[in-house]
Amino acid sequence: MRLTPIDLVEPGEILGTDVTSGNKTIYPKGKQIEKRDLENLKKRGVFCIYLEDATPLDDAPVGTISRKTRTLANDAVIQALNHPDDLSAARLQALENASHSMVEEILSNEHIKIQVHDLRSYDDYTYKHSVNVAAVSLAIAKNMSLPKSQLELIALAALLHDIGKMGIPLYILNKEGPLTDNEAHQIKEHPIHGFEILSSQPGTDPIIWAIALQHHEMMDGSGYPNHRMKEDINPLSRVLTVADIWDALRSSRPYKKPWPTEKVTRHLGSTEMRSKLDSDCLSAFLQIVMPYPEGSMVRLNSGEICVVVESRSEQPELPVIRKILSATGRPIEERDRQTIDLMNVKHLSIASALS
C-alpha cells in the first residue's frame, strides 16, 4: 500500500487502512473512495490516506508503537483529558497501563525508527498529539540509553503534558486567523494550568508536574511560561520538547497544513533550533527520524512519482523507491514499475516529498 496525498487520490481507489477520529472509524479499510469522501476528509484535516496498491508494502507503517497499544493509549488520554478535574485512580491506572505497554514495545524494538503516519483530524488533535509525543519521546529516550524507570516517567508525562489545554476554549485552539494578545496569553498559560491540575492529584510524581510545566521552555530562555534556561529545565522535559515540536509541525490544524517530514527535520537541525533544544536530545532524535518513511510518496528530480518501499537509518535521504507515476502524471503499468535503490543511482534524487 502507499501513503497518498488527498489531492492525488482518484475516486474508485481502495483504502488500505482504517481512517479514524478518536476511537471511531470514519472509513474502514477496503472502502472504495468516492468524491464526497475526499471532500469530507479534507474538511476533517486529513491530507493523506493509505491506498491499496498493486505492488503493496507488507503493511502500513504505524510508527514506533503498535496499533493496539496506540488505541489503548488514545482511549486512556481521552478519558483523562475529558475529566481534568477528576483524575480518578482508575483513569490514572489506565494511563499507567498504556505507558507501560508503550515502554515495553519501545524497548523490544531493536531497530527503532521515527516514522509516524497518524491520520488525525482537527477535533481529536490534542489526544493523538499526546500519544504521538509519548511514542517519539520514548524513541529519543531509548536512543539516549536512559533507564527504564525514566522511560516510564516520560511516557506518562507525555500522555498528560497538554492537560492544561482543556481549560482553553476550542475557538482559540482551532482559530484559523491570528490570535489576539489575550488569546495568545491563554495558550501560553496552559503549562501552568497543567502543573496545577497534576500537582493537585495524589500519587502523581513531581517530575510529571515539572514536565507538564516546562515542555515549552527552551535552552536559550526564549520559551514559556517562565523563560527557564539550560540546567533550570528538567532533563526529561527537554526530551519531550523535541518530540512536541516534531509532532506539532507535522500535524494538520485549522490554521496550517502539515509540514513535510523532511522540512521538519531540516528545521529541527537548523542553527536556530540547535540553540533552543538540548543537544543530546536533538542528536538522538536526528539519528532515528526517517525523512522519507516507508509508504510515503516522493517526486524525483526527473519528475516521476514514487513510493518509498524501504528506509535506511544510515542514509535516510537515499531510500529504496518504486516508480508509480510518470513525469506527466500517467500511471505506470505494474509490469513496468521499477524498484530503485537511490544509493546505487547517481542521476536520480528526491526533489520533494508529497506526503
Mind listing the pLDDT tens digit for each residue in 150-164? 999 999 999 999 999
Could you tell me if 47 and 54 are in contact, meaning their C-beta atoms sit under 8 angstroms apart?
A: no
Report whether pLDDT(117) > 60: no
Query: What distance in Å separates the CA atoms of residue 6 and residue 48, rounded to the nearest whole number?
Result: 5
Q: How far is CA 85 from CA 81, 115, 266, in A?
A: 9, 34, 39
Confidence of residue 208 (pLDDT cuts 50, 70, 90): very high
pLDDT digits (tens, 9 = 90+) for 222-258: 999 999 999 999 999 999 999 999 988 887 777 777 7
Query: What distance in Å separates the CA atoms of residue 69 and residue 76, rounded to the nearest whole number?
Result: 11
Quick one: 93 exposed, middle or buried, by C-beta within 10 A (0-12, 13-18, 19+)? exposed
Question: Mean pLDDT, to the nearest integer, of 116-120?
Answer: 45
